[in-house]
Structure 1
């Protein structure tokens, strides 16, 4: 097991989260504003159509033909076309904005402490990448657009009904304000905390499902299928309960909004009977009635969207807050790594969290260029933490690390990692061809270089025997090859990088004794001109090493 832990992520404030999201969406600002304009035009056409239709009916009943049918047809056709254009345009813009957000998320994830080094549950990362980011499309489509429409509708109600009868306009506008602004805000406040627990439940369920899929062989081997099914069912029930609980609250606010809309309609009908409001003509009553009914149709979706505000806020903080603890603390560095690659850990002190004990303090270690060394120790001693520090994934609280005499804090992350090729205990083979898996470490490598790396890893003959050779599809996690063959392909990928330092973190975990010995025999024969740092629980006895240290109780003890 890796010693990496999952430190508590720094809590991102909603304000900072939305500022970051809008910064990412800045290139789409004009397009987003155009989408809002399209939405307002479509809404204005709809309000004009209904008000005009009401006027035509009223005037027709009075034997007058002030509003022509052609005009209404033009309004109806224009509204239909504008609504189609608005939906097509706004969704297209939002797809692009969400795509940029996903790219930003992956970029931040790949540069942070969760960058595949064992810090985060894959289910949690997947939940942020899929569910949380998809939730954020509601920020524009379900909040910003309806909110802009509600402002326009509020103004239209005040102006048109106010030109007919000011007291009636004030009453109707007041009811609209309560239904279209106050109810959504109350709904958002009620569901904000609940939205956080709901997103957490979704993430936990996804983590469980992925975990059980990965452990399916063990589940079947121990006959635990029914127990796992019961466990998943229980977690689904928890999620469904929370969803139902939130739906009830949203439905309550929607009901209140609906009641307010009906009160507004009753006020117009009361005005028609000269109850409370006097002096309004029949034609104007019909216009007001049609306009009020149409206006309050905008309120219902806004109230429902307000109920989802809590989820949108928490989705924003989860997406923007990924790796926040680590990324901001890592010195960026601007210098290039030197050609000389001696490594020194100088009086190093590190702790994962200020409330936890130090993993080690005043640790000193020198690894000369070209040396083959091993660092061994029990689980939890901090061996893999040294690897993370050297890769500049995390930073020490005390002391420093130098590469070729230069502090790695001054060296850019990319430059540091061009000097170090990393092979871990959880090496991943992608669901792609052998060629593409190898090219990950050296995109410009020729076929001759690929075969050379495979030959050095003693797996070239196996690949040549495959029907498609380098273009053989490995399947998910390299399922189409054995564990030993997959580990050799991973070794070939590491050797292909040409990095002068090979960092091997428990590279033979999960292999049987014979395959493990063969792996190290291969390693002994290759990379003779590289620095090799082997991190392991124990040694097999076949490794060729210049120095061996044991890490225990925060100290390094030389064994030779």
Structure 2
């Protein structure tokens, strides 16, 4: 648990976390000072204090009121900036973890788990920086100041406040809440499965039965969530009652100090309202305490451990590529999605630098499967694929994929804009390189014709582009990587012969200029004349 907390805290940069925490402390302090000053004015007004004292107190009320609003705004602004910056890092960590599990021989059986972590898990960790960490720290500082001031007056009262603070943090753990990740995963998996097959279910007339199964899973998940919420509400209500009881007890304990002349009536009134304001800061502590437990559980799933990080660094640093070795050397690779039905059998080939290669074959012969093996989206059942002289067993999948710029059939495009699609893959890419890639892919004129050019929204999965335009955009995105290998899956599909020829001519010219190598899956037979090697499956 401690290790997970440290990993979470390490994500938050001190330059962002400390100003947010300071703003929260100042906002809470200004609020308590406002209540205390107002109490002094109300209690002392009937005693006709000097006008200068009243004027000073009224000015202080205004200053505290303005300060509370300003610091509260800064607290919200800075803490949300911190939380959403960390939220982005956490979502990326979830995507990377899901990518690291490829290949999944069982299919998308873990989609529900990934969806839970991406939504619920990452949101829990986002709230860790918004609500879980700041509130206990702010309340702890106020408790320390209050206990220090109260200790000379009523030592038992100071101890009681400290005990109440600790109780708000510790008591929620007695609930022993169960993790609902498994139930959420089951529900989401059924939901995704039914959504993917809704057309087929309707066609065969079993949609109603599928809906009942989904409803049952949803009701079970909702019932457990409601049970969890009910237990929390009972605990929070009990702590609210206890907090009021402690406040009344503190008021009673302070009364003898007024009778003894240690406190004046005005000071007593100030203490009454200040203590109520301090104790009100404890309301968020039970939720923060429970949130810490949930955050640790989510972090253990989403964030890589130190061991995993060290293993990943080791795998990406071992060993160095051999410069004069073939870019790719496949030896006797065999693969099948089902062990008894091999798609690729005992296949061997090499691809040297500059040796543009075409992969051809009938539909179902395994062309896209071979491309997926080269990209290590799947691992071969037997045989070896070497990258620049290094066997795939000695390389991480990320290190192997770094050699490729790839455009595969079915690749996803983001709905925002062409520029955003480039920047998501190549964060520091300038606009000139974007246009160069679009020119090579024969798409520059199309993008220029859009109302906002590079910034025009493309729609969900680039739905506003035609099939051929979408394919060319994928080619442009792959070209922009400047990796030594460019893997294109049917780049001329949906294009007329003339435009397809210009596309391939531009791609080959760009690759030859930088010493790159093309691997293309194609049914376009005239294209084979430009290839130096053809692999027929």
TM-score (norm 1): 0.66
Residue in 2 that maps onto 1:453: 441
Residue in 2 that maps onto 1:9: none
Match of 1:159 among 126, 148, 161: 148
Residue in 2 that maps onto 1:264: 246
Match of 2:296 among 313, 331, 339: 313
Q: How far did 1:79 drift? A: 2.9
Residue in 2 that maps onto 1:185: 170
Contact 1:438 1:450 in 2 (8 A): no
Contact 2:487 2:520 in 1 (8 A): yes
Q: How far did 1:297 drift? A: 1.0
Q: How far did 1:302 drift? A: 1.5
Aligned CA distance change for structure 1 residues 18 and 264 (closer, same or farther; 3 Å): closer
Residue in 2 that maps onto 1:82: 67
Contact 1:375 1:383 in 2 (8 A): no
Q: How far did 1:303 drift? A: 2.2
Aligned CA distance change for structure 1 residues 148 and 101 (closer, same or farther; 3 Å): closer
1:253 counterpart = 2:272: no
State the alpha-carbon separation in 2 of the partners of residues 38 and 408 from structure 1. 51
1:299 match: secondary structure? coil
State the alpha-carbon separation in 2 of the partners of residues 154 and 435 from structure 1. 51
Residue in 1 that maps onto 2:18: 33
1:18 counterpart = 2:23: no
Structure 2 residues without counterparts, runs of 5 or longer: none
Contact 2:322 2:389 in 1 (8 A): no
Partner deviation per Cα, 1:181-236 (whole Å, 9 max, x = no partner): 22332314535x43x31x55556656666666666655665666655655554444
- Aligned length in residues: 504
1:297 counterpart = 2:277: no
Aligned CA distance change for structure 1 residues 220 and 487 (closer, same or farther; 3 Å): farther
Contact 1:36 1:145 in 2 (8 A): yes
Q: How far did 1:25 drift? A: 1.7
Residue in 2 that maps onto 1:429: 413
Matches within 5 A, 1:339-350: 341-345=326-330
Q: How far did 1:37 drift? A: 3.1
State the alpha-carbon separation in 2 of the partners of residues 268 and 470 from structure 1. 68
Aligned CA distance change for structure 1 residues 53 and 25 (closer, same or farther; 3 Å): same
- Mean CA deviation greater in 35-44 or 413-422: 413-422
Residue in 2 that maps onto 1:143: 132
Structure 1 residues without counterparts, runs of 5 or longer: 1-13, 509-513, 550-560
Aligned CA distance change for structure 1 residues 419 and 341 (closer, same or farther; 3 Å): farther
Q: How far did 1:103 drift? A: 4.3
2:99 match: secondary structure? coil
Contact 2:359 2:519 in 1 (8 A): yes
Q: How far did 1:332 drift? A: 3.7
Contact 1:348 1:398 in 2 (8 A): yes
Aligned CA distance change for structure 1 residues 342 and 264 (closer, same or farther; 3 Å): closer
State the alpha-carbon separation in 2 of the partners of residues 263 and 469 from structure 1. 63
2:326 match: secondary structure? coil
Contact 2:84 2:126 in 1 (8 A): no
Partner deviation per Cα, 1:42-93 (whole Å, 9 max, x = no partner): 43344445455555655667x4748943343234323322322332222222
Contact 1:474 1:480 in 2 (8 A): yes
State the alpha-carbon separation in 2 of the partners of residues 206 and 344 from structure 1. 41
Matches within 5 A, 1:160-309: 160-167=149-156, 169-170=157-158, 173-174=159-160, 176-188=161-173, 190=175, 193-194=177-178, 196-197=179-180, 218=200, 230=212, 233-268=215-250, 270-271=252-253, 283=265, 285-309=268-292
Aligned CA distance change for structure 1 residues 123 and 429 (closer, same or farther; 3 Å): farther
Aligned CA distance change for structure 1 residues 315 and 93 (closer, same or farther; 3 Å): farther
Aligned CA distance change for structure 1 residues 151 and 289 (closer, same or farther; 3 Å): same
Contact 2:332 2:382 in 1 (8 A): yes
Contact 2:103 2:378 in 1 (8 A): no
Aligned CA distance change for structure 1 residues 163 and 395 (closer, same or farther; 3 Å): farther
Aligned CA distance change for structure 1 residues 229 and 272 (closer, same or farther; 3 Å): same
More helix by share: 2
Residue in 2 that maps onto 1:43: 28
Contact 2:32 2:274 in 1 (8 A): yes
State the alpha-carbon separation in 2 of the partners of residues 150 and 131 from structure 1. 27
Contact 1:272 1:280 in 2 (8 A): no
Contact 1:342 1:368 in 2 (8 A): yes
